[in-house]
Amino acid sequence: MPIAPQHFNGPKQWHQRAEEARVLAEQTSNERTKKLMLRIADDYDDLAVQRGYTLYRRDEEELMLRRCRLLGLANPLARFQG
């Protein structure tokens, strides 16, 4: 099986694909589609980690808050914030 070139298969590119999926999730009003796009974004982030890219803690919190907002969930960090 041929190996994809690094510029297509690198961690940065998987992270960018995850962000694109999140943007699409923000743009849709269909809840099922929104959840699907967020799941795809999570999968892309997992691929980025496998390819050597790890998110900084602040980035992880930002992504969690964004996901909660998109899904209409309560802010899980609210009890820790002043």
In-domain check, residue 14: yes
Task: Give the model confidence (pLDDT) of 66-75 as tens digits.
Answer: 888 888 887 6
Range of the domain at 67: 8-73
Flag whether 55 is in a domain.
yes
In a domain, 16, yes or no: yes
Domain membership flag for residue 82? no
**What domain count does the chain have?**
1
pLDDT of residue 68: 83
Whether 82 has a pLDDT exceeding 60, the answer reads no
Q: Are 44 and 5 in contact (CB under 8 A)?
A: no
Model confidence pLDDT, tens digit, residues 44-67: 988 888 777 555 556 777 777 888
**Is 3 within the bounds of a domain?**
no
**Is 78 among the domain residues?**
no
Is the residue at 58 inside a domain? Answer: yes
Q: Which amino acid is at 18?
A: A
- In a domain? residue 2: no
- The answer on pLDDT for 1 being more than 60 is no
pLDDT at 35 over 50: yes
Of all residues in the chain, what percent are helix, strand and coil, respectively (each to 5)?
A: 70, 0, 30
